[in-house]
A and B are shown apart, each in its own frame.
Chain A
């Protein structure tokens, strides 16, 4: 805590304790607490420094007359102060804890009726119980009973906080082990049952909690059961093994009984508890009942609940094979059901059928359009997730799965395999774009399996049909493009013949979204296959490139930007001389076009794209020589752009230029680059710097340094810093030859003037100054630090917070009037 804050803190305490003032914004108190929590974690001497805090909490807690929100704050704060053993001692000596937490005092106070106070009491206790002394305090004063009562408090916030506190008590051993070392505690190294031995009260206390929990579970009162199940789910993972044993013993039986009663409202909690239990050693115990319970759950759940549950099961580390198989069956069941509705031969063994939910329930859900669609989407997206898990492919019949997804996609476009005309399940799917999108996603993720090659042609035919269909939604088209890309990038199939004609049509689509995603697809495809001669030939003779040129003038700026990126990728493809380039895309023209866009386009996306493409071209030059890019114009236009992203991209371009120019002289701005000593000479570096100076790069960097957009300034600063380091390393630099043009950069001039006045009296500022000199004069390191702070760091500081609180006392009538 800095001195300024330490000065303000007593004033704040006094103000908060003064009932005359009420805080209009109680988030201040929360922020204040957050700050104290931070301080406690890093600086255990908080109490000693700030005795005013003790005075404050003792005053408030003893009087019990303050505003409920202040009281709650004081309770939480006293817990926080007592979270270290020293603090605990101090507070106990002054009877603060007694007044704050003993229930006797509260039971008579009407303030206890206020949920804020009860919540503060619980949170205070939770803050405090970080060491055994605090724990003993809790048990000795019989607070467990109060907390157990609050577990079913009428305020849901209080009830949930009480549950958390109970879990905290049950997990006590674990909590201590995780405590930061700064907390001096004898128990930090406790191992199994350590606490129990040293603290019989704790054992008794946990026994009491567990007993109460068992009673609650069997009580038949829904809220009590709810809360207890939540408590079990919270505690199982982190509590001591013997506590876990006890907990599970009580829970297991209760869940069995409750499941038998068909308590469907508790299903979600059962799932949580079972999943928590499955992540503990209990799961691998031979006599554990968890797996059978999970199997029962899978059977009783509705399909929409069963699928997410099953997906969770598959993610379990030690999931038994039989359970995993069953879970996969549940996930695949709707998909299989739909496939079976077509007249296709049975695609897979009966695994899904025998393992899944009740047939009739599923059929009922699938026969209604909304539930059918959502169920199938759930099944498809979970399948995609399964496919992403590598270890699973042994369990999934991949070929059948791909075929099923293909069938679903075919049904969705109105092709069908069913001879029974009134098959309502299939009818629900015709033209349904939600299912189409999910199925396409799944198909894309299934491409990774070796077995998928067999279906390559069928998939391409189907997807091309989707791409060609006039009824395909724009988002469906985008997914269809992704499928083609994924399958092609597997490197197994050849480029489908009809792809480019379809792509040409989509590039002329009425919907800009479609034009845009077609362009993105083309860019991705080209970047993947640019080394493949056959692809390049097909593309260059397809007529797509002329369309790209036309799309540079598209009215939609996203499309223009995507066209620029696509041209950036495709225009430099190598073409054999004997292949006629259908698109007469003269590359020089293209550069001219790009420069026009950069100078004139009113929308930012296109301008950003241009700078990105030029950067890409510069970063990866073609072996056979490249285009002449008018770099200084690009730098000038880019650095004067109104959009910060264009400016950042321009600085990235500048960085590449700097790196490439310096590399020619054997230098590198990267501090870790291995520099061959023999080649690094000051003369070469001067040459390089002069080249950069010719490109007016330094002007761009200095302009960027004080840009109103922070990312631009940061980027420019880091670039200048790396140059500064480089020049500092090379002492033999002929500085004066690289002159820095600071025309118009008044702030640099100001900075220099200040520096010169301080250090070198009598120097003429009018005289041009060397770039290296300027760099050495500017305090770039400090600037980088300042820029690194978020723009609201001042407003978020504790000092500002306390000033805000104190401002309450200065509010005069006039101010209030002014606010209106």
Chain B
């Protein structure tokens, strides 16, 4: 059993598990942090961005004026943003049988894997994961396609040139593998390979293994996966949460008794408690609005935003913000808000029960109804007519490199009354803000990451007790910025097996057993003998048939009747010759009674020698040795076959036969 690690990002995993002749890909996350090296894509012409100076090396030898621009002391690539894909050289992607998706954030690289690679397998995901994943991909494609860029920068990727560039571009890794965003057509084709599954539904893969999604409590339809055969169990835990937010709570008990547990997707901000951050978010929001400023919240169009809106729903009245407009701008804003309301069965109990009242499970429906929350596909069109300040705007993309958020950064960045509140933990806010410097607007970092923290995960692991844990290497040491926080790492016994990008791990357990079926007629013919109270055994003579990873014992075919005529000899498949099976022996030969028996049969001169395993009996007159050992008896008797047979029979008297 092997694990191929195609991504080193702990929360955007992409691993391939080879298990019992199946090749299973676990998630395919897309690392979009590479976009931070690119200039933002403004929706309307930005004089500031277009006037940025091009980059020329100090000695003037390298001139990349067209490709690289300098802003506030940093260099950015002036091209459509590109993303860092999972590793594609480590194994042949066409050999992948299935892809298991755990949540909509972890499937964004799917088109890169399923398209143009020869992939012919199936993708398994829950319905909300598929639908919301589709929205996120659609949004990404839309953000890119609506601001087309004529040129595409590639020269800077030249190894020799990249070496000369200033940081952090110089340190960017694997830049040659970075790819442009996929097209809508590729998205559709990739998603057409998805087969929907429900929680706890058992899916057979080629009869060899069974995969089951379990609720993971992180987002709508998010799941952990159990991959098991009859005797082995591998759990894949990715992006789970124990907090009470909108999704169904995490199913922990089904993870018990795993041989291996692959652990990914822990919180990215282990020091920030989501509740505290939510409070921080609200108080900063209120403070800005009260001082007459606007609030910009760069966020994904699905996920934490539902909880943010719910929290604001309660907070708006208590903070006297009833008259402040809240805008949600995204190409998929409408679908996202509406989808969240229809997946009732995937919600927590509290929200599910609302559906029967009937009420919308999320209170943002009421915010929309009362006109407190308005949503628009983009800043163009209706929005410009309705726009009123001071206001709160939720919009993407959290990297601040594309999407409507770029426009608001240009619009509000110069006033210190305004505030940008970062709630998504995926991007470093300082890097995200770099191309907007100098910036007067206030900036607040309230990352809300509801995924498991180290305290919760160590409690969980204590509970489910897997034999081995595999995790990204980042989890086996404290975060680099807080090297003293030994509480922010996994400490387990035995220690977890760490992986990094391009690791291939041999998983530390051997398959020992295989399940075999007996056909009823064969079972009927067995004659069990009780060897211990409650334990009976029987010998079986049968033919083993293996097909589709299933093994069946069938009764041995009867010997074919003698051919009717010797003349008509045909070449037929000879059935295997059936010999009567020799009986199986069990038990031990007790020394004293055996000596007595020998004596009775006229063998009197016996010299007994004790060995580590038993005894050696030297029959001096016969010049014969009998070695009595724990797991075998040998009679060494040269050229006296009758004596050997006689001795053998005497030994057999003391043993049980099956």
Contact = CB atoms under 8 A, between A and B. Distances in A.
Q: Answer whether A and B are interacting partners.
A: yes
B637 interface: no
Contact of A508 (B272, B277, B286, B317): B286
B484 interface: yes
Contacts of B639: none
Contact of B276 (A421, A470, A556): A470
B283 A423 contact: no
A554 interface: yes
A314 to B, nearest CB: 36
B280 A470 contact: yes
Interface string B483-502: 11111000000000000000
Interface in A375-397: none
Given A416-B484, A427-B487, A554-B318, A471 B286 contact: no
B320 A508 contact: no
B271 A547 contact: no
A221 interface: no
A422 interface: yes
B485 A505 contact: no
Interface in A603-626: none
A550 B290 contact: yes
Contacts of B317: 555
A546 B320 CA distance: 13
A508 B487 contact: no
B26 interface: no
Nearest to A552: B320
Nearest to B284: A505
Contact of B282 (A414, A510, A550): A510
A252 interface: no
Given A422-B486, A427-B487, A510 B283 contact: yes
B481 to A, nearest CB: 11
Contacts of B290: 508, 546-547, 550
Interface in A427-448: 427, 430
A543 interface: yes
Contact of B279 (A418, A510, A547, A555): A510
Interface in B479-524: 482-487
B459 to A, nearest CB: 13
A173 to B, nearest CB: 63
A359 interface: no
A506 interface: yes
A553 interface: yes
Nearest to B484: A416
Interface string A402-437: 000000000000101111011100010010000000
Contacts of A508: 282-284, 286-287, 290, 319
Contacts of A472: 276
A416 B287 contact: no
A400 to B, nearest CB: 22
Nearest to B486: A421
Contacts of A506: 283
A469 B446 CA distance: 11
A225 B76 CA distance: 84
A238 interface: no
A543 to B, nearest CB: 7
Given A416-B484, A419-B484, A423-B486, A505 B283 contact: yes
B279 A509 contact: yes
B377 interface: no
- Chain B contact patch, size range: 20 to 34
B315 interface: yes
B198 interface: no
A417 B284 CA distance: 31
A578 B632 CA distance: 108
Nearest to B478: A421
Nearest to B491: A422
Contacts of B284: 505, 508
A581 interface: no
B155 to A, nearest CB: 45
Nearest to A546: B290
B291 interface: yes
Contacts of A556: 318
B450 to A, nearest CB: 15
B469 to A, nearest CB: 19
B205 interface: no
Interface string B276-300: 1111101110110011000000000
Interface string A188-213: 00000000000000000000000000
B273 interface: yes
Interface string A537-558: 0000001001100100111100
- Chain A contact patch, size range: 20 to 34
B287 A505 contact: yes
Contacts of A553: 320
A509 B318 contact: no
Contact of A470 (B273, B287, B483): B273
A423 B485 CA distance: 10
A556 B446 CA distance: 26
Contacts of A427: 486-487
B271 to A, nearest CB: 6
A512 B280 CA distance: 14
B276 to A, nearest CB: 4
Contacts of A416: 484-485
A437 B283 CA distance: 23
A510 B287 CA distance: 11
Contacts of B291: 543
Contacts of A423: 486
A156 B251 CA distance: 53
Contact of A511 (B271, B277, B279, B446): B279
A421 B489 CA distance: 11
Nearest to B288: A508
Interface in A719-758: none
A504 interface: yes
Contacts of A471: 272-273, 276
A91 to B, nearest CB: 72
Nearest to B477: A421
A509 B291 CA distance: 15
A508 B288 CA distance: 10
Interface string A637-678: 000000000000000000000000000000000000000000
A470 B320 contact: no
A506 B446 CA distance: 15
Nearest to A431: B273
A555 B283 contact: no
Contacts of A418: 484
A553 B290 CA distance: 13
A509 B273 CA distance: 16
Nearest to B292: A546
A470 B485 contact: no
Contacts of B286: 508
A694 to B, nearest CB: 39
A418 to B, nearest CB: 6
Interface in B315-371: 315, 317-320
A417 B482 CA distance: 11
Contacts of B273: 470-471
B271 A470 contact: no
Interface string A502-526: 0011101111100000000000000
Contacts of B283: 505-506, 508-510
Interface in A212-267: none
Contacts of A555: 317-318
Interface of A: 414, 416-419, 421-423, 427, 430, 469-472, 504-506, 508-512, 543, 546-547, 550, 553-556
Given A508-B282, A509-B282, 14 more contacts: A414-B482, A419-B484, A430-B485, A430-B487, A470-B272, A505-B283, A506-B283, A508-B283, A508-B290, A510-B278, A510-B279, A512-B318, A543-B291, A554-B318
6 contacts: A414-B485, A422-B486, A471-B272, A508-B283, A508-B286, A509-B282
The 6 closest A-B pairs by CB, nearest first: A470-B276, A421-B486, A470-B280, A508-B286, A508-B283, A416-B484
